[in-house]
């Protein structure tokens, strides 16, 4: 049980906006960075196809520290931890802006991720503690709309800043937003606390170490910098640590990741649905800017403008997510939507230098819409059967798997294009055949992930989707 009274009207009114601001900062940062990667690569004398470490180090750090965020929020209070998180994210943004080398930028991104690992999860945990189940889908859907403004503004703003100034400015714009967020949270963020036992640091080392090794193995595989037997050893050690964590979990009273929650069927399907589906769609934020700038040789500004339809359609479709889920149910929605995503990703494999860019806009619009439906449906389904006792643990597991799948999606995309370049003996980055092979493979992976949603029942999530009558006050 929480140690605070029920939230007053002021908290009810402002909490969704604070959570949306946190999501906006992260989404703006991610989309601006994706557009700017080729420019950063040139400035740091690196290959554009080897810059995924800047993204992966961030998402992997999020995955490692998200479980700690839930424990810290329950132990010290959601308001205090949220303010600390946003402060670290803002400080990390400044450090990124003044970085002069790739290692410095990676280290700064890790600092930024330490803040990000707590910022969004703690705000969403406060949402779970504040609103009843019958309002949860509507509230989550609401807070993602302002957060999706970031992907609309980010690509064009990032391309524009890169073209007229330098990539350093894409991080500086986070600073005033972070200051506003900290001051706002001090006034209206609820300070929920729950009695928590000792944090499972041993479990964190085992679980986190396995994630690091598995991701690093894929990363090094895409870079082709070490022998294959070393890669197999790293990945094998990662699986070993994961098995050791399972042994540790069965003998620990309060494990960092409560695998017992996986027995909740909707949470289990939602978690593995996130992981498998995002192995395909997770690489798109990296692959699309690379396609436009490296493969098709367009400017950062043009690349950013081409990403606007994706983000804009993702926002516009939000008002239809609830009616779609209510009409079709979660099972049909996820099955049909996943297949559509797979087809759309595969169609990018037909792009070449003779393809007019306006012809790609319908494809980008469809991708943004179905991707938005997919993420909202999977996330809310995962949370549908959680209660006050399981909300924190279930939310942590979901967030970990989301960030892990995003990290793996980026790494898999980079690994695929690197592998196909080697298989086809392609030296020039402007050769589009490795891009075609990569998009087609990512589409196939996404299509196969739809099989997981066959395990859903028609009634799964019915309580969440069937009792929506009003939006939260805002």
Does some domain include residue 2? no
User: Tell me, what's the pLDDT at 149?
Assistant: 67
Question: In this structure, are 231 and 314 located in the same domain?
Answer: no
**The total number of structural domains that make up the chain:** 2
Question: In this structure, are 218 and 158 located in the same domain?
Answer: no
Does some domain include residue 3? no
pLDDT tens for residues 94-126? 999 888 888 889 899 999 989 988 888 888 888
Q: Where is the domain boundary, 240, 255, 270?
A: 255
CB within 8 Å of 175: residues ≥ 6 apart: 90, 93, 94
User: Tell me, what's the pLDDT at 94?
Assistant: 93
Question: In this structure, are 222 and 317 located in the same domain?
Answer: no
User: Tell me, what's the pLDDT at 81?
Assistant: 92
SS3 content of the chain, % helix, strand, coil (to 5): 80, 0, 20
User: Tell me, what's the pLDDT at 469?
Assistant: 33
b/e sequence 376-414, b meaning 16+ C-beta within 10 Å: bbbbbbbbbbbeeebbbbbbbbbbbbbbbbbbbbbbbbb
Closest C-alpha to 23, from 98, 95, 127: 127
- DSSP code of 384? T
Burial of 183 (0-12, 13-18, 19+ CB in 10 A): exposed
Distance between terminal CA atoms of the chain? Answer: 27
Q: Which two tokens stand for residue 381?
A: 């389904």
Residue matched to tokens 């196939």: 444
Question: In this structure, are 245 and 280 located in the same domain?
Answer: no
CATH number at residue 40: 1.20.1250.20
Question: In this structure, are 176 and 236 located in the same domain?
Answer: no
Question: In this structure, are 359 and 224 located in the same domain?
Answer: no
Question: In this structure, are 265 and 403 located in the same domain?
Answer: yes
Does some domain include residue 209? yes
Q: Where is the domain boundary, 238, 255, 272?
A: 255
Does some domain include residue 471? no
Q: Where is the domain boundary, 239, 255, 271?
A: 255
User: Tell me, what's the pLDDT at 92?
Assistant: 92
User: Tell me, what's the pLDDT at 464?
Assistant: 59
Residue matched to tokens 């006792």: 389
Q: Is the dihedral of CA 402, 263, 459, 340 positive or negative?
A: positive
Question: In this structure, are 272 and 249 located in the same domain?
Answer: no
Does some domain include residue 4? no
SS (H, E, C) 302-354: HHHHHHHHHHHHHHHCHHHHHHHHHHHHHHHHHHHHHHHHHHHHHHHHHCCCC
Question: In this structure, are 453 and 324 located in the same domain?
Answer: yes
Mean pLDDT, 10 residues at a time, the chain of 474 residues = 52 78 80 79 77 78 77 84 93 91 88 88 81 69 67 74 81 88 86 74 84 74 65 85 87 77 80 82 84 84 84 84 84 92 93 88 93 84 72 72 76 83 74 90 91 82 50 34
Q: Which residues form the domain of 325?
A: 9-199+256-466
Question: In this structure, are 154 and 226 located in the same domain?
Answer: no
Does some domain include residue 142? yes
pLDDT tens for residues 297-354? 888 788 888 888 888 888 788 888 888 888 888 888 999 999 999 999 999 999 888 8
User: Tell me, what's the pLDDT at 124?
Assistant: 80
User: Tell me, what's the pLDDT at 2?
Assistant: 47
User: Tell me, what's the pLDDT at 256?
Assistant: 74
Question: In this structure, are 245 and 265 located in the same domain?
Answer: no
Does some domain include residue 452? yes
CB of 410 closer than 8 Å to CB of 285: yes
Taking CB atoms within 8 Å and a gap of at least 24, the contacts of 233-239 are: 237/213, 238/209, 238/210, 238/211, 238/212, 238/213, 238/214, 239/210, 239/214
Question: In this structure, are 157 and 283 located in the same domain?
Answer: yes
């Amino acid at each position: 049980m929480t140690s605070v009274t029920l939230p007053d009207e002021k908290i009810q009114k402002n909490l969704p906006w604070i959570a949306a601001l946190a999501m906006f900062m992260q989404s703006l940062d991610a989309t601006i960075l994706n557009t700017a990667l080729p420019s950063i690569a040139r400035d740091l004398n690196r290959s554009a196809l080897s810059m995924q470490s800047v993204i992966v180090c961030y998402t992997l750090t999020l995955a490692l520290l998200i479980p700690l965020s839930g424990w810290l929020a329950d132990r010290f209070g959601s308001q205090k931890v949220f303010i600390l998180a946003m402060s670290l994210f803002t400080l990390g943004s400044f450090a990124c802006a003044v970085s002069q080398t790739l290692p410095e930028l990676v280290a700064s991104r890790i600092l930024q991720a330490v803040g990000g690992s707590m910022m969004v999860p703690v705000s969403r945990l406060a949402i779970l503690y504040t609103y009843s189940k019958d309002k949860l889908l509507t509230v989550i859907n609401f807070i993602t709309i302002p957060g999706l403004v970031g992907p609309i503004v980010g690509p064009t703003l990032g391309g524009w800043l890169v073209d007229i100034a330098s990539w350093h400015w894409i991080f500086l714009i986070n600073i005033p937003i972070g200051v506003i967020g900290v001051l706002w949270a001090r006034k209206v963020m609820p300070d929920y606390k729950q009695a928590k036992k000792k944090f499972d640091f041993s479990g964190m080392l085992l679980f986190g170490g396995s994630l690091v090794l598995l991701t690093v193995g894929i990363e090094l595989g895409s870079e082709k910098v070490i022998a294959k037997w070393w890669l197999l050893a790293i990945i094998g050690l990662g699986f070993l640590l994961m098995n050791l964590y399972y042994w540790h979990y069965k003998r620990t009273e309060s494990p960092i990741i409560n695998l017992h929650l996986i027995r909740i069927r909707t949470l289990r399907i939602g978690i593995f649905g996130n992981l498998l589906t995002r192995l395909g769609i997770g690489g798109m934020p990296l692959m699309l800017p690379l396609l436009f700038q490296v493969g098709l040789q367009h400017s950062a500004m043009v690349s950013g403008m081409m990403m606007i339809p994706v983000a804009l359609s993702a926002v516009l479709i939000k008002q239809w997510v609830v009616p779609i889920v209510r009409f079709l149910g979660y099972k049909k929605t996820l099955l049909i939507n996943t297949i559509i995503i797979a087809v759309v990703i595969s169609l990018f494999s037909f792009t070449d230098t003779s393809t007019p860019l306006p012809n790609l806009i319908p494809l980008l619009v469809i991708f943004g819409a179905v991707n938005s439906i997919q993420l909202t449906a999977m996330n809310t389904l995962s949370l549908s059967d959680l209660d006050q006792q399981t909300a924190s643990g279930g939310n942590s597991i979901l967030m970990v798997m989301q960030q892990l799948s995003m990290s793996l999606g980026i790494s898999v995309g980079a690994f695929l294009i690197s592998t196909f370049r080697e298989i086809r003996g392609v030296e020039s980055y402007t050769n589009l055949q490795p891009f075609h092979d990569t998009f087609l493979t990512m589409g196939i992976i996404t299509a196969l992930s739809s099989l997981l949603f066959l395990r859903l029942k028609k009634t799964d999530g019915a309580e969440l989707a069937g009792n929506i009558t009003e939006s939260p006050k805002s």
